[in-house]
Structure 1
Amino acid sequence: MSAQLITYLLLGAAAGGFINGLSGTGTALFALGFYLVVLDPVTAVAIVALMSVVAGLQGVWVVREAILAQPHRLLRFVLPGLVGVPLGVWLLNGLDATALRLGVAGFLILYGGYFAIRRSLPAFSRRTPVLDSLIGGLGGILGGAAGMSGALPSMWMSLRPWTKFETRAVLQPFNMVMLITTVTLLYLRGAYEGAGTALLITIPTGLIAAQIGIAVFRRLSDTAFRWVLILLTLAMGIGVGASELL
């Protein structure tokens, strides 16, 4: 293993692990830029997905009380999401995945850019179980079809005036379940064969970086965390769009 490969693996794991600890989503956005330079796409996605799951366990533990306080809210997103993932994979046969990702990226840029320049954030406070389920299902479909399961839930939850713990108690477990499904499918495809050494580098680095991100998360106010999600949505749109166009 070359020094260049090790360097890129460390940088990707540090960036992805930190954003995972900070927000509970966006790991692939920050890690894949490094990994795709030195790894083939399937191996890169497989390593990032597994690292996201392992690092995400720490974030789930941080918000465990908020998860247990409102499990029905989480299930409204997760159960439709699980139905959506295989549907998204099936839709790949008739969809142009690149066009889909560019379309979603454009929407995220418009949304994130609009709210990024506003002085105040929206406060959509009433209960919306049907819309929650719809967002979860669409997130699952986008996860299966374009690897973007966290995009719409992140956007939707940035509109809600929930506490940072309430928001993360939905967003992080939702992403975890979608990623576990992805890891399982990739494992069955043999994507982890020969990736042992890379995982020995990325997993510990990602865990340490996630702890740093969690420490920053604990210091954020509820409003500041919503701003993090807004800016992360904008970054997701720019990152996905740039990766497809380039």
Structure 2
Amino acid sequence: MPDLLSFDLAIFLCGTFVAAFVTSLAGFAFGMIAAAVWLYALAPQQVSALIAAYALLVQGYAVWKLRHLLDVHRLMPFILGSAAGIPIGILALRWASAAQFRFGVGAILALFSLYNLVRPKMPSMKQAGRGADTAIGILNGFISGSTGLGGIAALIWSSMRGWTRDEQRAVFQPTAVATFVMMLVAFGGTGIITRETLRLFFMGLPVLALGMWLGWMLYGKLDEAAFRRIVLVLLLISGVTLIASAWR
């Protein structure tokens, strides 16, 4: 792919900053925010690879802080399932057109936002076993490999399992980090990570660090609930816009 035009590069850097800032402040949605912006400037495979690389940095620190809560026995079905689902997702990514990719990402953004805005009463899955957890892991891996948006399926499923908030975070965040690592290995092995993608990654690191730092500086100084709601509404609008653009 030829070098990005200056306008496209500006879109990429802007999306990186906003995603890092919001994630540090609100604690969620790096990949979704980044994808909502980057898809107007980058190719689908670049978007997926960069989401995995940056999200690994952003969420890796959070998982380190939660290391005392990690339950390997509980985590393994999600991680093994994700390992099985990622190759299928990558096949879909390699075959999908740009329009199909935008539609898929837009649908995920819209559905995730609606779920968190409406908060429908979901059936309790407290009695679900490791088989169900593995199936969710496979779905998580497929979504991750095809879009770069790792951890979404595990996040929603964890909220239905009757676990405490800390127990949920100790499942979906490590699952996401492990998924991002596996994605990057798979992307590297299939040629998805190109020299241009690496160049973008290193160019965006200072902007990523600045966004994270500003988010941490403002953490606790804003109405977190109101801020999250604004972010979700913006994600919903972005999702609908991406779906509409895919039909042009």
TM-score by length of 1: 0.70
Deviation at 1:193, TM superposition (A): 0.5
**Contact 2:23–2:212 (CA<8 Å) still a contact in 1?**
yes
Q: C-alpha deviations, 1:118-152, integer Å up to 9, x for none?
A: 6x855837242332222112211233345444332
Q: Which runs of 5+ in 1 are unaligned?
A: none
Q: Is the 8 A contact 1:122 1:160 kept in 2?
A: no
The whole-number CA distance in structure 2 between the counterparts of 1:101 and 1:31 is 13
Alignment partner of 2:51: what SS?
A: helix
The match for 1:201 is: 203
Note closer, same or farther for the CA distance 1:241–1:126 as it changes in structure 2 (3 Å cut).
same
- Percent of aligned pairs with the same amino acid: 25
Which ranges of structure 2 fall in alignment gaps of 5 or more residues?
A: none
2:145 matches 1:144: yes
C-alpha separation in 2, matches of 1:156 and 1:40:
30
Aligned counterparts of 1:170 and 1:44: Cα–Cα separation in 2: 25
Residues of 2 paired with 1:193 and 1:174: CA distance? 28
Deviations 1:99-130 (A, max 9, x none): 79858966885675366336x85583724233
Structure 1, 81-90 or 105-114: larger mean CA deviation: 105-114
Instruction: Show the counterpart of 2:193.
Output: 191
Q: CA 1:83 to 1:192, structure 2 compared with 1: closer, same or farther past 3 Å?
A: same
* Equivalent residue for 2:61, pick from 58, 63, 74: 58
CA RMSD of superposed structures (Å): 4.4
Aligned residue in 2 for 1:128: 128
In 2, Cα distance between equivalents of 1:239 and 1:166: 35
Between the aligned partners of 2:29 and 2:159, the Cα distance in structure 1 is 14
CA distance, structure 2, for counterparts of residue 72 and residue 126 of structure 1: 16
Counterpart residue type for residue 155 of structure 2: S
| CA distance, structure 1, for counterparts of residue 10 and residue 98 of structure 2 | 31
TM-score with structure 2 setting the length: 0.70
Residue 83 of structure 1 aligns with which residue? 84
- Whether the 8 Å contact between 2:56 and 2:181 is mirrored in structure 1 is yes
Contact 2:21 2:213 in 1 (8 A): yes
